[in-house]
Amino acid sequence: MKKISDYINEFGLESFKERAYDFTKNFENSCILDSCSLHTGVNAGKYDFLAAYGAEQIVQDLDSLQQCLDSHSNWVFGTLGYELKNKFENLSSSNTALYKTQPVDFFVPEAILSIDKSGKTKLLKGKLPEEFWSCQMKTQKTSVSSVSSPVNRQIYLDKIDEIHELIRAGEVYELNYCVPFSHSYSSFNPSDFQKELIKKSPVPMASFYKNGPTSLCGASMERFLAKTGDTLTSQPIKGTIRKGSDSAEDQEMIKELESSQKDKAENVMIVDLVRNDLARISESGSIKVSELFGIYSYLQVHQMISTVQSKLKKGLKFSDILYAAFPMGSMTGAPKIAAMKYIEILESFQRGWYSGSTGYISPDGDFDFNVVIRSVICDEINNKIHYCAGGAITIDSIPEEEWNEVRLKTKAITEMLNDSSY
């Protein structure tokens, strides 16, 4: 039997990761969480890479998930959809669903392989069959239709005007408005797309999640919430600017983001919202902002990221934590409940997995979950690809600039879908 460490030493880490992604084709349920060897601010996560295959048990509601966690000392991987909000608050969703998913979609895997931050490899559960080492697939070229969306530039600008009116009326002071994009396809392989997506846009919270005919390919750099021991860590993002065409312009872009009062205002609003959420489940006086307005650079963009940490109260369960903190404020706005009510009115679709969260829960109760952004959802039943982008709108938001930011956030995805050469 081959050892993972021996293979990596001989062929390299990237070759091993590609093999791990290709192996997902053998299972109805799989999940890969990949830091791309990057880290954002406080080193909250335990692993550089986790891959989970096969389902011993599937869990698709929150009560059953908590029962699973209570009764089994096991690993659980899954995705939380945005519409889970309806269970936590007096909210509803009557908009059109772009694809079929459950707000809670988790599984107990048959096999888990890991690479920790020291580079140590380990099979955390099960075993890798010989097929793992021979499972490389022939890359399937992508063939998709032109992009479509119910929201064009003018509709978007008009929506921002509506949000500004809500802010002036005192209904909200920040609202995250999102736009859906869709393609039909004749040829598309989700795991191939994911491999290429993180090559073009490596990020610290990448995720690939598959449940039968529905797959999520994600290049997120945002951590929703992690638990290590009794420490909770959240890393909201607000503030995005493009990369420069050369090093000199790139430094100018960083300086512009660092000095942007608008982006700082958006960021601190969400930091305050996170602090408020965590206060419901944290020891008194334990909440701290470990980093405010940190600037982190990726291949496509620069981001402003803050880090909030606290000490979890004793005796609380995973579901208790979700009740307090989900969905994340960076994807709603503030006040959170009012923002979510108006999102339902302003947007014409259910977000589904987008602006939800993908991650794992370990047997000791620790967990790490991202924010599902910069992600594609593949619906193999209807041969459709969906993705969304948006931003936090404040009274200082300039509509045209916000529209340009939406296009910037989808740049890596749209370029890949328009280029079938990979």
pLDDT tens, position by position, 64-76: 999 999 987 889 9
Cβ pair 52, 27 in contact under 8 A: no
State residue 134's pLDDT score. Answer: 79
What proportion of the chain, given as a percentage, has pLDDT over 90? Answer: 82
State residue 41's pLDDT score. Answer: 64
Min mean pLDDT across 37-46, 90-99, 185-194 is at 37-46
Pairing of strands 121-125, 301-311: unpaired
Q: 294 pairs with which residues across the strands?
A: 305
Q: What is the pTM of this model?
A: 0.95
State residue 130's pLDDT score. Answer: 85
Tokens for 374, please give them. 């910069």
Cβ pair 173, 272 in contact under 8 A: no
Q: Kindly state the average pLDDT of the residues 86-100.
A: 95
pLDDT beyond 90 at 40: no
- Spatial CA neighbour of 14 closest among 196, 161, 152, 180: 196
State residue 30's pLDDT score. Answer: 98
pLDDT beyond 90 at 408: no
Min mean pLDDT across 129-143, 149-163, 339-353, 376-390 is at 129-143
Tokens for 400, please give them. 């045209």
State residue 419's pLDDT score. Answer: 74
Q: Kindly state the average pLDDT of the residues 172-182.
A: 96
What proportion of the chain, given as a percentage, has pLDDT over 70? Answer: 96
State residue 420's pLDDT score. Answer: 59
**Angle between helix 13-22 and helix 4-11 axes, rounded to 10 deg:** 120
Min mean pLDDT across 4-8, 39-43, 110-114, 252-256 is at 39-43
- Spatial CA neighbour of 348 closest among 182, 198, 220, 185: 182
State residue 138's pLDDT score. Answer: 63
How many CA atoms, within 13 angstroms, populate the side-chain half-sphere of residue 162?
A: 14
Distance, CA of 204 to CA of 181 (rounded, Å): 24
State residue 68's pLDDT score. Answer: 94
pLDDT tens digits, 98-113:
999 999 999 999 999 9
State residue 42's pLDDT score. Answer: 63
Tokens for 339, please give them. 């923002």
Tokens for 123, please give them. 């099979």
CA of residue 354 relative to chain centroid, distance: 7
CATH number of the domain located at residue range(s) 4-137+148-418 in this protein: 3.60.120.10
pLDDT beyond 70 at 422: no
pLDDT beyond 90 at 299: no
Average model confidence (pLDDT) for the chain? 93
* Helical (H) or strand (E) element with 125: strand 121-125
pLDDT beyond 80 at 141: no
Which SS3 state, helix, strand or coil, does residue 58 take? strand
Please measure the distance between the N-terminal and C-terminal CA atoms of the chain and give it in whole angstroms: 32
pLDDT tens digits, 226-283:
999 999 999 999 999 999 999 999 999 999 999 999 999 999 999 999 999 999 999 9
